[in-house]
Structure 1
Amino acid sequence: MNRKKSVIWGLAIFLTIIGIFYVTLSMQYKNQFLPKTTVNGIEVGKKTVKEANQEIKKYYREKEIRVMENKKELFTFTGKDIGVTSEFIKPLDKEIRKQNSWSWPIKQISSNHAKLIIKNLTFEDSKLETYISSLLLNQENRTKPSNAEIIKVDNQFSIQPEVKGNFLDQFRVVELLKESFKEGDSKLDLKQAYEKPGILASDKTLESKLGELQKLSELSVVYTITGSKEVVPRETLVSWLGVDEANSITVDKIGVTAYIEGLSVKYSTYEKTRNFKTSKRGVVNVPPGTYGWTLDVARESELLATDILLGENIERTPLYNGSGYSDNENEFGENYIEVDLASQHMWVYINGQRFLETDIISGKPKTPTPKGVFYVWKKDRNATLTGEDYATPVDYWLPVDWDGVGIHDSPWQSIYGGNNYITKGSHGCINTPPTVMSKIYNQVEVGIPVIIY
């Protein structure tokens, strides 16, 4: 009986001791992390918040990460190098309050221990920047990335692939260093910090622009100028086409302007000597005057550049300035006035037929009538012609240049033709018999060419 009581008392004392031990440790784990607890993979079991904080800080200060590039180690660094400054007291305190301190026996023997994650890592920016700037990243020998782009070679457009390069994005390097600590990595690949091209060869917009350029390269561009055809050569058209930095299709307006200027030089008549088939003396050379036309290079170049971008075949008659443009190379048309100074004679042609002809008196030798191709730019009745030493009224006045020379009646003259101009010549005008002048005035229109040779 006594033996039985002894066993019972012994068991009671044992259980009491176990209970006290259990309660004591449970109270202890109110301020300590449960066994085998980890924070960000760092063992903090049986440590207080303060002790765990020191352990984690020490871990991150001493944590070493290897930096690799092309399977070669460039350098290593620690948290201390890049200024890890984190304090974990608050998040640790929050986590310890959530744990069940009475479960310590289970945690002690279980493999399913607490794995806590605290994302509270901070860095001293100035120290991190200083460290990055001290690294020998050899940027001057690295290749910068370049975008894929449309190029032109031998009058053909194609896409030149992007260059990936190995130039480092400094901001990305900083972010990688931070991320390697936060993620618990032991090494990082510097390739992840390479600057990347913004446009790849597979870019759909780039491919679309290439298709547009190839289509524009095959356009037919034809000019009709005074009855002649001028076809823009394909290589010339292609030389105008290109793309800007935004990969927008462009037309080289300087090149277009040079081409239109070339056409103007070839076809324009203004300020050029002409061959003229006369009434009596065959074909003669007539120097330039006020009559003639030239291509409107500025406006025509702008319009052509715009039309090309529309992507349709082009047939144009160019814009021009001046007078005398004709679709059939007949510059003077069917209506014109012809003055032969040598024979002192004038013809007027209307609708291709001789309307009248008459002797005239031109400028005297000291003030000769200018030779050239002119046109009547105004019609006046009862005008007074003035100069330095004269003021002469006339009934009919047809000015042909900008210096006061024109055709008018001259009632003061009694004889016309011959060599009378030597002694009775004008200040440069074409003196015409009054009865004939009235017929001319009433028949001709402003703009009629006047060829004087």
Structure 2
Amino acid sequence: MKKGIIITVITLVLLGVAYSAGIGFYAEKFQANTTFGDVDISNLTLEEAEKKIEEEVLERKILLKENGKELGEVSIADLGAVIDADEVIENSYLSQNPNKWVTGYFSSTEYNNVLEEHVHLDPVSVQQSLNNLGISNDERTSPTDATITYSEATGYQVEEAEEGTQLDLERVSQTILKAIQDNETTVELNQAYAQPTVTSKDERIEKAMDMIEGITNKEIVLKIEDKEVQIPQEKILEWLYFDPSNNVVFDEVAIDEYLTELNEKHATYTKERKFKSTLQGEVTVQPGTLGWSIDRETEVQNIIADLSGNKDVKRQPAISGTGYNSDSSDDIGSTYIEVDLTNQMMYYYEDGTQLFSAEIVSGMADADPPTPTIPGAYAIWDKQKDATLVGVNQQRGNDYRQPVSYWMPFDDTGQGIHDANWQSSFGGDVYMYAGSQGCINTPPALMSELFEMVEVGTPVIVF
């Protein structure tokens, strides 16, 4: 009995000594069954553990494969690896309780998923290592982003993104680091292909498709004179395209071409006109300065704004020129000056009523050189009293400065209506031998009357 007690006491003493010795031992070392990633650092000091982790990681080699084909082996050291795990290792060391060293033999302490976070590869070294193995992106297929395409048969559709075969250096590094973490010796490079930046689920794609639906269902109606012209949906579809970021863009050149077509059909600036004259009945009047056309530069931007808006639109297009009538295709109207070169007569009509008539002298058509009055549809663009006309007499070859009491220019070459006190007579065939340099010479007594009646902008029809 006494002997048993002695043995027990001795055993307890020995155990106590061993326990105390263990406390002292593990006060400076990692406990048993401690791993950092897959590196066993059991029973090592902090310094020894840090050194072992670095040595084991840097010594590792990774076999690179692509779709099962072996491409070559790289060492982690050659990849410029830097390990910054000192702080986390030290924290792990300090978190141990030496008094519980015994439990380390019956359980394990694993610091998993830390190598991947605390090992960094140098991109330049990674690239160089790949180059040394003949691995390059030069002939590889780059990824393609999802895009929106259009065809007449299917309309607008989303073309799905494609991965390609180019390697993403960052993904290559991450794949290698994961292999280190998982204690794997092989890396499959097809897991490191560069990825598209835009997929069919991208918010920009979805937003663009929603915009397309809204645009293609929109009605844009242009009120051109007394007509309404709806822009065809197929035209709108042709104008849409997408920039590299899949933002909706409108083809300004195509819109301008469409507006050019509308001008050819509706604008009056370059068109002949049918005109009901006083003495000759219906005559054809050549184009002049009178007339309007759609201001294409402004209207392109107006249409883009309409298409980008949320509502259907019905409006007048931007117009440049003179004579535009929103209620009629007649840009002359019922108030105008009529110049009949054949009969050497001039009339003024206001609201369809003739208020003025006078014999005139027009330009000399048969002189050498000729200075005829150029037929066309024009408009008064200025009114001046006591003006001085300056020019060159084409027949005599001398400069002239001719004062006049009233001057109303109507084209952009110097033609206008003015009094001519040097003319002894008007009408008939006077213009054949005493004609003007192109202006409409008017009897002085009547010119003052016409001047007071006419406003700037009044059409002048010469035929």
Residue 239 of structure 1 and its aligned partner are, at CA, apart by 0.9
- Sort the Cα spacing of 1:61 and 1:342 in 2 relative to 1 into closer, same or farther, 3 A: closer
- Post-superposition Cα deviations, 1:154-173, rounded to whole Å, max 9, x if no partner, equal 17112111112332211221
Please, what TM-score do these two structures have when normalized by structure 1?
0.81
- Is residue 66–residue 75 contact of structure 1 (8 Å, CA) maintained in 2? yes
Do residues 437 (structure 1) and 432 (structure 2) align?
Answer: no
Residue 221 of structure 1 and its aligned partner are, at CA, apart by 2.2
Do residues 213 (structure 1) and 223 (structure 2) align?
Answer: no
Matched residue type, 1:374? Y
Q: Pick the structure with greater CA Rg.
A: 1
SS at match of 2:171: helix
- Is residue 157–residue 214 contact of structure 1 (8 Å, CA) maintained in 2? no
- Sort the Cα spacing of 1:317 and 1:43 in 2 relative to 1 into closer, same or farther, 3 A: closer
SS at match of 2:431: helix
- 1:233 counterpart residue number: 232
Distance in 1 separating the partners of 2:376 and 2:187: 86
- 2:165 counterpart residue number: 166
- 2:149 counterpart residue number: 151
- Is residue 409–residue 432 contact of structure 1 (8 Å, CA) maintained in 2? yes
SS at match of 1:139: coil
Distance in 1 separating the partners of 2:380 and 2:9: 140
- Post-superposition Cα deviations, 1:271-301, rounded to whole Å, max 9, x if no partner, equal 4433323222233333333322232221122
Residue 33 of structure 1 and its aligned partner are, at CA, apart by 6.5
Of 372, 375, 379 in structure 2, the residue corresponding to residue 375 of structure 1 is: 379
Of 390, 408, 411 in structure 1, the residue corresponding to residue 418 of structure 2 is: 408
- Is residue 241–residue 251 contact of structure 1 (8 Å, CA) maintained in 2? yes
- 1:426 counterpart residue number: 436
Question: More deviation in 328-337 or 217-226?
Answer: 217-226
- Is residue 290–residue 323 contact of structure 2 (8 Å, CA) maintained in 1? yes
| Correspondence 1:50-449 to 2 at 5 A | 59-70=56-67, 74-82=71-79, 91=89, 95=93, 100=98, 110-112=105-107, 115=110, 125=122, 130-154=128-152, 156-327=155-326, 328-364=328-364, 365-366=366-367, 367-387=371-391, 388=398, 390-449=400-459
Matched residue type, 2:107? N
Distance in 1 separating the partners of 2:220 and 2:421: 57
SS at match of 2:377: strand
Residue 74 of structure 1 and its aligned partner are, at CA, apart by 4.6
SS at match of 1:284: strand
Gaps of 5+ in 1: none
- Post-superposition Cα deviations, 1:332-359, rounded to whole Å, max 9, x if no partner, equal 1111122222222222222112223332
Question: More deviation in 118-127 or 401-410?
Answer: 118-127
Distance in 1 separating the partners of 2:14 and 2:455: 132
- Is residue 34–residue 101 contact of structure 1 (8 Å, CA) maintained in 2? no
Question: More deviation in 238-247 or 329-338?
Answer: 238-247
Distance in 1 separating the partners of 2:125 and 2:437: 94
- Sort the Cα spacing of 1:184 and 1:440 in 2 relative to 1 into closer, same or farther, 3 A: same
Question: More deviation in 302-311 or 228-237?
Answer: 228-237
Question: More deviation in 140-149 or 388-397?
Answer: 388-397
Please, what TM-score do these two structures have when normalized by structure 2?
0.79
SS at match of 1:288: coil
Question: More deviation in 326-335 or 196-205?
Answer: 196-205
- Is residue 380–residue 398 contact of structure 1 (8 Å, CA) maintained in 2? yes
- Post-superposition Cα deviations, 1:81-135, rounded to whole Å, max 9, x if no partner, equal 546676999958984995749966x76xx54355567957656847555424323
Distance in 1 separating the partners of 2:222 and 2:77: 76
Residue 237 of structure 1 and its aligned partner are, at CA, apart by 1.1
Matched residue type, 2:334? E
- Is residue 384–residue 394 contact of structure 1 (8 Å, CA) maintained in 2? yes
- Is residue 220–residue 306 contact of structure 2 (8 Å, CA) maintained in 1? no
- Sort the Cα spacing of 1:147 and 1:392 in 2 relative to 1 into closer, same or farther, 3 A: closer
- Post-superposition Cα deviations, 1:130-150, rounded to whole Å, max 9, x if no partner, equal 424323435344332222222
Question: More deviation in 246-255 or 24-33?
Answer: 24-33
Residue 14 of structure 1 and its aligned partner are, at CA, apart by 8.8
Question: More deviation in 374-383 or 339-348?
Answer: 374-383
SS at match of 1:418: coil
Distance in 2 separating the partners of 1:392 and 1:269: 35
SS at match of 2:432: helix
Distance in 2 separating the partners of 1:233 and 1:178: 58
| Count of residues in Structure 1 that have an aligned counterpart in Structure 2 | 446
Distance in 1 separating the partners of 2:424 and 2:36: 127
Residue 443 of structure 1 and its aligned partner are, at CA, apart by 2.0
Distance in 2 separating the partners of 1:301 and 1:246: 23
- Sort the Cα spacing of 1:253 and 1:33 in 2 relative to 1 into closer, same or farther, 3 A: closer
SS at match of 2:107: coil
Residue 302 of structure 1 and its aligned partner are, at CA, apart by 1.4
- Sort the Cα spacing of 1:18 and 1:412 in 2 relative to 1 into closer, same or farther, 3 A: closer
- Is residue 273–residue 286 contact of structure 2 (8 Å, CA) maintained in 1? yes
- Post-superposition Cα deviations, 1:402-438, rounded to whole Å, max 9, x if no partner, equal 4443323344444332222223333333233334333
- Is residue 49–residue 93 contact of structure 1 (8 Å, CA) maintained in 2? no
Question: More deviation in 393-402 or 325-334?
Answer: 393-402
- Sort the Cα spacing of 1:181 and 1:134 in 2 relative to 1 into closer, same or farther, 3 A: same
Residue 20 of structure 1 and its aligned partner are, at CA, apart by 11
Distance in 1 separating the partners of 2:453 and 2:374: 24
Matched residue type, 1:143? T
Q: Percent identity?
A: 29
Gaps of 5+ in 2: 392-397
- Sort the Cα spacing of 1:34 and 1:285 in 2 relative to 1 into closer, same or farther, 3 A: closer
- 2:394 counterpart residue number: none
- Is residue 132–residue 174 contact of structure 1 (8 Å, CA) maintained in 2? no
